[in-house]
Amino acid sequence: MELPLTEPFKTKMVENIYRSTGSEREMWIKEASLNLFNLRSEQVIIDLLTDSGTGAMSDKQWSAMMLGDESYAGASSFYKLKDAIKDLTGFNYFLPAHQGRAAENVLFSVLVKEGDIVPGNSHFDTTKGHIEFRKAQAVDCTIDEAGDTTSGHLFKGNVDLEKLEQVLKANPAEKISCVIVTVTNNTAGGQPVSMSNIREAGKLSHKYGVKFIIDAARFAENAYFIRMREDGYAEKEIRDIAREMFSYADGMTMSSKKDAIVNMGGFTAFREEGLYQLASTFNIIYEGFLTYGGMSGRDMNALAQGLYEGTELPYLESRINQVAYLGSKMKEYGIPLLEPYGGHAIFIDAKKFLPHIPKEEFPAQTLAIELYLEGGVRGVEIGALMADRDPVTRQNRYPDLEMVRLALPRRVYSNNHMDYVAAVVRNVFDRRNMVKRGVQIEWEAPIMRHFTVKLNRF
Ligand code: F0G
Protein backbone atom coordinates (compact mmCIF):
# COMPACT_ATOMS: atom_id res chain seq x y z
CA MET A 1 0.00 0.00 0.00
CA GLU A 2 1.02 3.58 -0.44
CA LEU A 3 2.60 4.80 2.76
CA PRO A 4 0.90 7.74 4.43
CA LEU A 5 2.72 11.00 4.88
CA THR A 6 4.11 11.50 8.35
CA GLU A 7 5.33 14.64 10.05
CA PRO A 8 8.97 15.22 9.10
CA PHE A 9 9.88 15.88 12.75
CA LYS A 10 9.53 14.27 16.17
CA THR A 11 8.91 15.73 19.62
CA LYS A 12 11.81 16.49 21.96
CA MET A 13 10.05 18.55 24.61
CA VAL A 14 6.44 18.69 25.73
CA GLU A 15 4.18 21.20 27.43
CA ASN A 16 1.34 19.80 29.52
CA ILE A 17 -2.23 20.85 28.91
CA TYR A 18 -4.71 21.31 31.75
CA ARG A 19 -8.08 19.77 31.00
CA SER A 20 -10.56 22.20 32.48
CA THR A 21 -14.20 21.45 33.23
CA GLY A 22 -17.20 23.12 31.65
CA SER A 23 -18.09 24.99 34.83
CA GLU A 24 -14.54 26.35 35.13
CA ARG A 25 -14.75 27.63 31.57
CA GLU A 26 -18.16 29.18 32.19
CA MET A 27 -16.62 31.18 35.04
CA TRP A 28 -13.44 32.14 33.15
CA ILE A 29 -15.18 33.37 30.02
CA LYS A 30 -17.42 35.61 32.15
CA GLU A 31 -14.35 37.03 33.87
CA ALA A 32 -12.89 37.59 30.38
CA SER A 33 -15.93 39.72 29.36
CA LEU A 34 -16.69 37.14 26.67
CA ASN A 35 -13.50 38.14 24.87
CA LEU A 36 -11.27 35.14 24.15
CA PHE A 37 -8.19 37.38 24.01
CA ASN A 38 -8.69 37.98 27.73
CA LEU A 39 -8.37 34.31 28.70
CA ARG A 40 -5.18 33.02 30.26
CA SER A 41 -3.57 30.34 28.15
CA GLU A 42 -3.86 27.79 30.99
CA GLN A 43 -7.61 28.24 30.69
CA VAL A 44 -7.49 26.95 27.12
CA ILE A 45 -7.21 23.29 26.12
CA ILE A 46 -6.47 23.62 22.39
CA ASP A 47 -5.32 27.09 21.44
CA LEU A 48 -6.15 27.92 17.84
CA LEU A 49 -6.37 31.66 18.40
CA THR A 50 -3.52 32.23 16.00
CA ASP A 51 -0.67 30.62 14.12
CA SER A 52 1.39 33.71 14.88
CA GLY A 53 4.42 33.21 17.09
CA THR A 54 2.93 29.99 18.43
CA GLY A 55 5.00 27.49 16.43
CA ALA A 56 7.55 25.07 17.89
CA MET A 57 11.14 25.92 17.03
CA SER A 58 13.46 23.14 15.96
CA ASP A 59 16.62 21.92 17.70
CA LYS A 60 18.60 23.67 14.97
CA GLN A 61 16.84 26.95 15.68
CA TRP A 62 17.43 26.60 19.42
CA SER A 63 21.08 25.83 18.87
CA ALA A 64 21.40 28.77 16.47
CA MET A 65 20.19 30.94 19.34
CA MET A 66 23.25 30.01 21.36
CA LEU A 67 25.43 31.53 18.63
CA GLY A 68 23.58 34.85 18.62
CA ASP A 69 25.82 37.89 18.33
CA GLU A 70 24.40 40.60 20.58
CA SER A 71 26.57 43.46 19.33
CA TYR A 72 24.72 46.74 18.97
CA ALA A 73 26.13 47.41 15.50
CA GLY A 74 27.25 45.00 12.81
CA ALA A 75 26.31 41.74 14.57
CA SER A 76 27.11 38.57 12.64
CA SER A 77 23.51 37.49 13.30
CA PHE A 78 22.30 40.45 11.26
CA TYR A 79 24.48 39.44 8.32
CA LYS A 80 23.42 35.83 8.60
CA LEU A 81 19.79 36.90 8.40
CA LYS A 82 20.51 39.37 5.61
CA ASP A 83 22.05 36.54 3.56
CA ALA A 84 19.03 34.27 4.16
CA ILE A 85 16.60 37.04 3.16
CA LYS A 86 18.62 37.91 0.07
CA ASP A 87 18.74 34.23 -0.90
CA LEU A 88 14.99 33.61 -0.50
CA THR A 89 13.59 36.94 -1.70
CA GLY A 90 16.25 38.52 -3.88
CA PHE A 91 15.98 41.75 -1.87
CA ASN A 92 19.31 43.43 -1.22
CA TYR A 93 18.25 45.63 1.65
CA PHE A 94 16.49 44.67 4.83
CA LEU A 95 15.60 46.19 8.18
CA PRO A 96 14.80 44.01 11.20
CA ALA A 97 11.67 44.85 13.19
CA HIS A 98 10.17 43.28 16.27
CA GLN A 99 7.13 41.92 14.42
CA GLY A 100 5.02 42.34 11.30
CA ARG A 101 3.03 45.38 12.37
CA ALA A 102 6.25 47.12 13.35
CA ALA A 103 7.53 46.49 9.84
CA GLU A 104 4.27 48.00 8.53
CA ASN A 105 4.75 51.00 10.78
CA VAL A 106 8.24 51.60 9.40
CA LEU A 107 7.27 51.19 5.76
CA PHE A 108 4.02 53.15 6.01
CA SER A 109 5.80 55.99 7.79
CA VAL A 110 7.62 56.45 4.50
CA LEU A 111 4.83 55.72 2.06
CA VAL A 112 1.43 56.61 3.57
CA LYS A 113 0.24 60.17 4.15
CA GLU A 114 -3.14 61.64 5.03
CA GLY A 115 -5.69 61.29 2.24
CA ASP A 116 -3.76 58.51 0.49
CA ILE A 117 -5.22 55.35 -0.93
CA VAL A 118 -3.71 51.90 -0.43
CA PRO A 119 -5.26 49.25 -2.66
CA GLY A 120 -4.73 45.60 -1.87
CA ASN A 121 -6.37 42.20 -1.34
CA SER A 122 -8.21 42.25 2.01
CA HIS A 123 -5.57 44.03 4.09
CA PHE A 124 -4.86 42.35 7.40
CA ASP A 125 -6.30 44.23 10.41
CA THR A 126 -2.99 45.71 11.58
CA THR A 127 -2.19 46.75 8.01
CA LYS A 128 -5.56 48.46 7.74
CA GLY A 129 -5.07 49.89 11.22
CA HIS A 130 -1.78 51.52 10.23
CA ILE A 131 -3.34 52.93 7.08
CA GLU A 132 -6.46 54.30 8.77
CA PHE A 133 -4.47 55.62 11.70
CA ARG A 134 -2.67 57.83 9.14
CA LYS A 135 -6.07 58.97 7.81
CA ALA A 136 -5.53 57.12 4.58
CA GLN A 137 -7.86 54.57 3.02
CA ALA A 138 -7.35 50.86 2.46
CA VAL A 139 -9.25 49.83 -0.67
CA ASP A 140 -10.05 46.15 -0.91
CA CYS A 141 -9.65 44.86 -4.46
CA THR A 142 -9.98 41.14 -3.74
CA ILE A 143 -11.87 39.04 -6.30
CA ASP A 144 -15.59 38.62 -5.60
CA GLU A 145 -15.24 34.84 -5.23
CA ALA A 146 -13.43 35.46 -1.94
CA GLY A 147 -16.75 36.49 -0.40
CA ASP A 148 -18.41 33.21 -1.36
CA THR A 149 -17.49 30.47 1.10
CA THR A 150 -18.54 27.75 -1.33
CA SER A 151 -16.76 28.96 -4.47
CA GLY A 152 -14.14 26.39 -5.42
CA HIS A 153 -11.80 29.03 -6.91
CA LEU A 154 -8.28 27.76 -6.30
CA PHE A 155 -6.76 31.21 -5.77
CA LYS A 156 -9.41 33.00 -3.79
CA GLY A 157 -6.82 35.36 -2.37
CA ASN A 158 -6.31 36.96 -5.79
CA VAL A 159 -6.50 40.64 -6.57
CA ASP A 160 -9.28 41.59 -8.97
CA LEU A 161 -7.10 43.27 -11.57
CA GLU A 162 -9.99 45.28 -12.98
CA LYS A 163 -10.89 46.68 -9.59
CA LEU A 164 -7.24 47.49 -9.01
CA GLU A 165 -6.87 49.23 -12.35
CA GLN A 166 -9.98 51.31 -11.69
CA VAL A 167 -8.46 52.60 -8.46
CA LEU A 168 -5.11 53.23 -10.12
CA LYS A 169 -6.79 55.07 -12.99
CA ALA A 170 -9.09 57.14 -10.85
CA ASN A 171 -6.35 58.58 -8.63
CA PRO A 172 -3.07 60.35 -9.28
CA ALA A 173 0.00 58.20 -8.52
CA GLU A 174 1.05 60.59 -5.70
CA LYS A 175 -2.14 59.74 -3.82
CA ILE A 176 -1.53 56.01 -3.94
CA SER A 177 0.99 55.04 -1.27
CA CYS A 178 1.59 51.60 -2.73
CA VAL A 179 -0.29 48.48 -3.73
CA ILE A 180 0.01 45.81 -1.07
CA VAL A 181 -0.70 42.17 -1.78
CA THR A 182 -0.94 39.77 1.15
CA VAL A 183 0.15 36.17 0.61
CA THR A 184 -1.65 34.08 1.59
CA ASN A 185 -4.72 36.24 1.99
CA ASN A 186 -5.40 35.77 5.69
CA THR A 187 -8.58 37.81 5.96
CA ALA A 188 -10.16 36.00 3.01
CA GLY A 189 -9.47 32.66 4.69
CA GLY A 190 -5.78 31.89 4.28
CA GLN A 191 -6.40 31.71 0.55
CA PRO A 192 -3.50 31.77 -1.88
CA VAL A 193 -2.68 34.32 -4.55
CA SER A 194 -1.56 32.83 -7.85
CA MET A 195 1.81 33.61 -9.40
CA SER A 196 0.16 35.05 -12.49
CA ASN A 197 -1.96 37.32 -10.30
CA ILE A 198 1.07 38.56 -8.36
CA ARG A 199 2.89 39.17 -11.64
CA GLU A 200 -0.03 41.06 -13.20
CA ALA A 201 -0.78 43.09 -10.06
CA GLY A 202 2.89 44.06 -9.97
CA LYS A 203 2.90 45.03 -13.62
CA LEU A 204 -0.26 47.07 -13.23
CA SER A 205 1.11 48.95 -10.23
CA HIS A 206 4.29 49.77 -12.11
CA LYS A 207 2.36 50.85 -15.20
CA TYR A 208 0.77 53.54 -13.04
CA GLY A 209 4.03 54.44 -11.32
CA VAL A 210 3.03 52.90 -7.97
CA LYS A 211 5.21 50.72 -5.73
CA PHE A 212 4.22 47.10 -5.36
CA ILE A 213 4.68 45.58 -1.89
CA ILE A 214 4.10 42.04 -0.68
CA ASP A 215 2.88 41.32 2.85
CA ALA A 216 4.75 38.04 3.07
CA ALA A 217 3.66 36.64 6.44
CA ARG A 218 2.66 33.31 4.84
CA PHE A 219 4.72 33.41 1.67
CA ALA A 220 5.87 29.78 1.97
CA GLU A 221 2.34 28.43 2.29
CA ASN A 222 1.42 30.55 -0.71
CA ALA A 223 4.34 29.11 -2.67
CA TYR A 224 3.19 25.60 -1.72
CA PHE A 225 -0.30 26.26 -3.12
CA ILE A 226 1.20 27.66 -6.31
CA ARG A 227 3.22 24.46 -6.65
CA MET A 228 0.12 22.31 -6.12
CA ARG A 229 -2.40 24.30 -8.11
CA GLU A 230 -0.84 26.47 -10.80
CA ASP A 231 0.23 25.18 -14.18
CA GLY A 232 3.96 25.00 -14.67
CA TYR A 233 4.99 24.90 -11.01
CA ALA A 234 4.52 21.24 -10.03
CA GLU A 235 8.21 20.43 -10.38
CA LYS A 236 9.57 23.70 -9.02
CA GLU A 237 11.31 24.08 -5.69
CA ILE A 238 9.33 26.02 -3.08
CA ARG A 239 12.24 28.43 -2.68
CA ASP A 240 12.37 29.13 -6.41
CA ILE A 241 8.64 29.80 -6.42
CA ALA A 242 9.10 32.21 -3.50
CA ARG A 243 11.96 33.94 -5.32
CA GLU A 244 9.76 34.42 -8.36
CA MET A 245 6.90 35.83 -6.23
CA PHE A 246 9.22 38.44 -4.75
CA SER A 247 10.81 39.22 -8.10
CA TYR A 248 7.68 41.20 -9.06
CA ALA A 249 7.76 43.41 -5.96
CA ASP A 250 9.63 46.50 -4.84
CA GLY A 251 9.61 45.48 -1.25
CA MET A 252 7.98 43.44 1.46
CA THR A 253 6.82 43.45 5.02
CA MET A 254 7.17 40.25 6.99
CA SER A 255 5.74 38.94 10.20
CA SER A 256 8.33 36.25 10.87
CA LYS A 257 6.02 34.73 13.48
CA LYS A 258 4.20 32.80 10.79
CA ASP A 259 6.06 31.05 8.00
CA ALA A 260 9.52 31.63 9.47
CA ILE A 261 8.44 29.66 12.58
CA VAL A 262 9.85 31.96 15.24
CA ASN A 263 8.04 33.25 18.29
CA MET A 264 8.81 36.90 17.63
CA GLY A 265 10.29 38.95 14.81
CA GLY A 266 9.67 40.70 11.53
CA PHE A 267 11.35 42.77 8.87
CA THR A 268 10.99 44.97 5.84
CA ALA A 269 13.07 44.30 2.74
CA PHE A 270 13.61 46.35 -0.39
CA ARG A 271 14.98 46.05 -3.87
CA GLU A 272 16.25 49.64 -4.13
CA GLU A 273 18.49 51.55 -1.80
CA GLY A 274 16.27 54.68 -1.97
CA LEU A 275 13.27 53.23 -0.16
CA TYR A 276 15.56 51.44 2.28
CA GLN A 277 17.29 54.70 3.17
CA LEU A 278 14.01 56.48 3.82
CA ALA A 279 12.78 53.58 5.92
CA SER A 280 16.06 53.42 7.86
CA THR A 281 15.33 56.63 9.74
CA PHE A 282 11.98 55.33 10.92
CA ASN A 283 13.51 51.97 11.78
CA ILE A 284 16.01 53.70 14.05
CA ILE A 285 13.31 55.81 15.71
CA TYR A 286 10.77 53.05 16.23
CA GLU A 287 12.66 49.78 16.28
CA GLY A 288 16.36 50.20 16.90
CA PHE A 289 19.61 50.51 15.03
CA LEU A 290 19.75 49.19 11.47
CA THR A 291 21.47 45.93 12.36
CA TYR A 292 19.14 44.81 15.13
CA GLY A 293 15.92 46.90 14.95
CA GLY A 294 13.75 45.26 17.58
CA MET A 295 15.42 41.86 17.53
CA SER A 296 18.17 40.32 19.60
CA GLY A 297 21.02 38.60 17.79
CA ARG A 298 19.88 35.15 18.91
CA ASP A 299 16.41 35.78 17.55
CA MET A 300 17.85 36.83 14.19
CA ASN A 301 19.83 33.58 14.10
CA ALA A 302 16.72 31.51 14.83
CA LEU A 303 14.86 33.43 12.16
CA ALA A 304 17.53 32.85 9.51
CA GLN A 305 17.29 29.12 10.21
CA GLY A 306 13.46 29.23 10.39
CA LEU A 307 13.18 30.83 6.95
CA TYR A 308 14.86 27.74 5.50
CA GLU A 309 12.86 25.24 7.56
CA GLY A 310 9.61 26.99 6.69
CA THR A 311 10.31 26.61 2.98
CA GLU A 312 11.00 22.87 3.04
CA LEU A 313 8.52 20.87 1.01
CA PRO A 314 8.00 17.92 3.44
CA TYR A 315 7.29 20.36 6.26
CA LEU A 316 4.82 22.39 4.17
CA GLU A 317 3.15 19.22 2.96
CA SER A 318 2.55 17.99 6.51
CA ARG A 319 1.41 21.40 7.69
CA ILE A 320 -1.10 22.05 4.94
CA ASN A 321 -2.31 18.45 5.13
CA GLN A 322 -2.98 18.84 8.84
CA VAL A 323 -5.13 21.89 8.19
CA ALA A 324 -6.98 19.95 5.49
CA TYR A 325 -7.35 16.97 7.87
CA LEU A 326 -9.16 19.16 10.38
CA GLY A 327 -11.28 20.61 7.57
CA SER A 328 -12.30 17.25 6.18
CA LYS A 329 -13.24 15.88 9.64
CA MET A 330 -15.47 18.87 10.24
CA LYS A 331 -16.94 18.65 6.78
CA GLU A 332 -17.79 15.01 7.44
CA TYR A 333 -19.86 16.28 10.39
CA GLY A 334 -21.71 18.72 8.14
CA ILE A 335 -20.11 21.89 9.54
CA PRO A 336 -20.35 24.83 7.09
CA LEU A 337 -16.77 25.77 6.24
CA LEU A 338 -14.94 28.07 3.92
CA GLU A 339 -13.61 26.05 1.04
CA PRO A 340 -11.09 25.36 -0.33
CA TYR A 341 -9.36 25.08 3.05
CA GLY A 342 -6.80 27.77 3.80
CA GLY A 343 -3.11 27.30 4.39
CA HIS A 344 -2.95 28.08 8.08
CA ALA A 345 -6.50 27.75 9.30
CA ILE A 346 -9.99 26.40 8.92
CA PHE A 347 -12.70 29.02 8.80
CA ILE A 348 -16.20 28.17 10.02
CA ASP A 349 -19.01 30.03 8.30
CA ALA A 350 -20.84 31.47 11.29
CA LYS A 351 -23.69 32.92 9.24
CA LYS A 352 -24.60 29.40 8.16
CA PHE A 353 -23.75 27.79 11.49
CA LEU A 354 -25.98 30.17 13.47
CA PRO A 355 -28.37 31.57 10.84
CA HIS A 356 -30.87 32.63 13.51
CA ILE A 357 -28.42 35.04 15.18
CA PRO A 358 -28.62 38.47 13.46
CA LYS A 359 -25.41 40.14 12.33
CA GLU A 360 -25.87 42.87 14.94
CA GLU A 361 -25.41 40.16 17.60
CA PHE A 362 -22.04 39.02 16.20
CA PRO A 363 -22.71 35.36 15.28
CA ALA A 364 -19.03 34.50 14.78
CA GLN A 365 -18.06 35.79 18.21
CA THR A 366 -21.04 33.96 19.67
CA LEU A 367 -19.86 30.75 18.04
CA ALA A 368 -16.27 31.25 19.20
CA ILE A 369 -17.54 31.57 22.78
CA GLU A 370 -19.59 28.36 22.42
CA LEU A 371 -16.57 26.42 21.13
CA TYR A 372 -14.63 27.52 24.15
CA LEU A 373 -17.41 26.58 26.55
CA GLU A 374 -17.92 23.20 24.90
CA GLY A 375 -14.34 21.99 24.95
CA GLY A 376 -11.84 24.72 25.75
CA VAL A 377 -11.01 25.34 22.08
CA ARG A 378 -9.98 28.92 21.46
CA GLY A 379 -10.51 30.25 17.94
CA VAL A 380 -10.88 33.83 16.82
CA GLU A 381 -13.66 35.87 15.31
CA ILE A 382 -12.95 37.16 11.82
CA GLY A 383 -16.10 39.09 11.17
CA ALA A 384 -17.97 42.22 12.13
CA LEU A 385 -16.20 42.74 15.46
CA MET A 386 -12.80 42.65 13.80
CA ALA A 387 -14.03 44.70 10.82
CA ASP A 388 -14.53 47.55 13.28
CA ARG A 389 -16.44 50.75 12.60
CA ASP A 390 -16.11 52.86 9.50
CA PRO A 391 -13.60 55.57 10.49
CA VAL A 392 -15.77 58.31 8.97
CA THR A 393 -19.37 57.29 9.66
CA ARG A 394 -18.56 55.30 12.85
CA GLN A 395 -21.14 52.73 11.73
CA ASN A 396 -20.39 49.05 12.25
CA ARG A 397 -18.96 47.42 9.15
CA TYR A 398 -20.44 44.05 8.27
CA PRO A 399 -18.12 42.17 5.95
CA ASP A 400 -19.34 39.42 3.61
CA LEU A 401 -17.50 36.84 5.64
CA GLU A 402 -18.52 36.28 9.24
CA MET A 403 -16.27 33.48 10.41
CA VAL A 404 -14.53 31.75 13.26
CA ARG A 405 -10.94 31.01 12.38
CA LEU A 406 -9.23 27.98 13.86
CA ALA A 407 -5.57 28.67 13.13
CA LEU A 408 -3.06 25.89 13.61
CA PRO A 409 0.24 26.61 15.31
CA ARG A 410 3.13 25.10 13.36
CA ARG A 411 4.58 21.76 14.54
CA VAL A 412 2.59 21.91 17.81
CA TYR A 413 -0.56 19.76 17.76
CA SER A 414 -1.18 16.20 16.61
CA ASN A 415 -4.04 14.89 14.53
CA ASN A 416 -5.56 13.52 17.76
CA HIS A 417 -5.88 17.11 18.83
CA MET A 418 -7.57 17.82 15.51
CA ASP A 419 -10.06 15.00 16.15
CA TYR A 420 -10.84 16.57 19.51
CA VAL A 421 -11.39 19.99 17.94
CA ALA A 422 -13.67 18.56 15.26
CA ALA A 423 -15.71 16.76 17.96
CA VAL A 424 -16.08 19.98 19.94
CA VAL A 425 -17.35 21.82 16.87
CA ARG A 426 -19.72 18.97 16.11
CA ASN A 427 -21.24 19.05 19.59
CA VAL A 428 -21.91 22.76 19.31
CA PHE A 429 -23.36 22.20 15.83
CA ASP A 430 -25.72 19.54 17.21
CA ARG A 431 -27.04 21.96 19.83
CA ARG A 432 -26.88 25.12 17.71
CA ASN A 433 -30.60 25.83 18.02
CA MET A 434 -30.21 26.11 21.75
CA VAL A 435 -27.92 29.12 21.26
CA LYS A 436 -30.74 31.65 21.31
CA ARG A 437 -29.04 35.04 21.28
CA GLY A 438 -25.70 36.57 20.43
CA VAL A 439 -23.63 39.16 22.23
CA GLN A 440 -23.56 42.94 22.50
CA ILE A 441 -20.74 45.40 23.04
CA GLU A 442 -20.37 46.82 26.52
CA TRP A 443 -17.13 48.72 25.85
CA GLU A 444 -14.88 49.12 22.82
CA ALA A 445 -11.65 50.92 21.88
CA PRO A 446 -11.80 53.53 19.09
CA ILE A 447 -9.65 51.38 16.75
CA MET A 448 -8.85 47.64 16.52
CA ARG A 449 -11.59 47.01 19.03
CA HIS A 450 -11.69 43.22 18.84
CA PHE A 451 -8.54 42.78 20.92
CA THR A 452 -9.91 44.51 23.99
CA VAL A 453 -13.67 44.63 23.53
CA LYS A 454 -15.91 43.84 26.50
CA LEU A 455 -19.09 41.99 25.65
CA ASN A 456 -22.18 40.72 27.35
CA ARG A 457 -24.93 38.39 26.37
CA PHE A 458 -28.35 39.51 25.32
N1 F0G B 1 0.13 40.62 7.96
C2 F0G B 1 -0.60 39.50 8.02
C3 F0G B 1 -1.10 38.88 6.78
C4 F0G B 1 -0.86 38.92 9.26
O5 F0G B 1 -1.59 37.81 9.30
C6 F0G B 1 -0.35 39.53 10.43
C7 F0G B 1 -0.62 38.95 11.74
C8 F0G B 1 0.40 40.69 10.31
C9 F0G B 1 0.62 41.21 9.05
C10 F0G B 1 0.98 41.39 11.51
O11 F0G B 1 2.04 40.68 12.01
O12 F0G B 1 1.36 40.00 14.31
O13 F0G B 1 3.74 40.00 13.62
O14 F0G B 1 2.56 42.12 13.99
N15 F0G B 1 -1.48 38.08 11.94
C16 F0G B 1 -1.76 37.38 13.17
C17 F0G B 1 -2.95 36.50 12.98
C18 F0G B 1 -1.76 38.20 14.39
O19 F0G B 1 -3.43 35.96 13.98
O20 F0G B 1 -3.37 36.28 11.85
P21 F0G B 1 2.43 40.70 13.57
Calculate what percentage of the chain has a pLDDT beyond 70: 100
pLDDT over 90 (residue 5) = no
Question: Is residue 124 within 6 Å of ligand 1 at its C-beta?
Answer: yes
CA distance 400 to 149: 9
pLDDT of residue 447: 84
Residue minimizing CA distance to atom 9 of ligand 1: 100
Residue 391 banded pLDDT, cuts 50, 70, 90: confident
pLDDT of residue 20: 98
Q: Of 69, 109, 157, 116, which is closest to residue 268 (Cα–Cα)? A: 109
Cα distances (Å, whole numbers) of residue 191 to 223, 256, 404: 12, 19, 15
Residue 418 banded pLDDT, cuts 50, 70, 90: very high
The domain made up of 59-309 has a fold known as Aspartate Aminotransferase; domain 2 (3.40.640)
Q: What is the pLDDT of residues 290-314, one digit of tens each?
A: 999 999 999 999 999 999 999 999 9
344 is catalytic: no
pLDDT over 90 (residue 200) = yes
Q: Give 186 Cα–ligand 1 centroid separation in angstroms.
A: 8
Q: What is the pLDDT of residues 100-132, one digit of tens each?
A: 999 999 999 999 999 999 999 999 989 999 999
Q: Contact, 448 vs 430, CB < 8 A?
A: no
pLDDT of residue 458: 80
Q: What is the pLDDT of residues 118-177, one digit of tens each?
A: 999 999 989 999 999 999 999 999 999 999 999 999 999 999 999 999 999 999 999 999
pLDDT of residue 400: 87
Question: Is residue 182 within 6 Å of ligand 1 at its C-beta?
Answer: yes
pLDDT of residue 424: 98
pLDDT of residue 259: 98
CA distance 260 to 264: 10
pLDDT of residue 289: 98
The number of the ligand 1 atom at minimal distance from the alpha carbon of 265 is 13
Q: What is the mean pLDDT of residues 338-348?
A: 97
Q: Of 213, 41, 29, which is closest to residue 110 (Cα–Cα)? A: 213
Q: What is the mean pLDDT of residues 178-207?
A: 97
The number of the ligand 1 atom at minimal distance from the alpha carbon of 380 is 19
How many alpha carbons fall within 13 Å on the CB side of residue 179?
A: 33
The domain made up of 22-51+313-457 has a fold known as Aspartate Aminotransferase, domain 1 (3.90.1150)
37 is catalytic: no
Residue 380: strand pairing partners: 405
pLDDT over 90 (residue 231) = yes
pLDDT over 90 (residue 32) = yes
Q: Give 257 Cα–ligand 1 centroid separation in angstroms.
A: 8
Q: What is the mean pLDDT of residues 425-442?
A: 97
**Nearby residues of 140 by Cβ (< 8 Å), 6 or more positions away:** 119, 120, 121, 122, 123
CA distance 266 to 263: 10
pLDDT of residue 94: 98
450 is catalytic: yes
Break the chain into its structural domains and give their ranges: 22-51+313-457, 59-309
Q: What is the mean pLDDT of residues 44-69?
A: 98
Residue 230 banded pLDDT, cuts 50, 70, 90: very high
Question: Is residue 61 within 6 Å of ligand 1 at its C-beta?
Answer: no
Q: Mean pLDDT over all residues of the chain?
A: 97
The number of the ligand 1 atom at minimal distance from the alpha carbon of 182 is 3
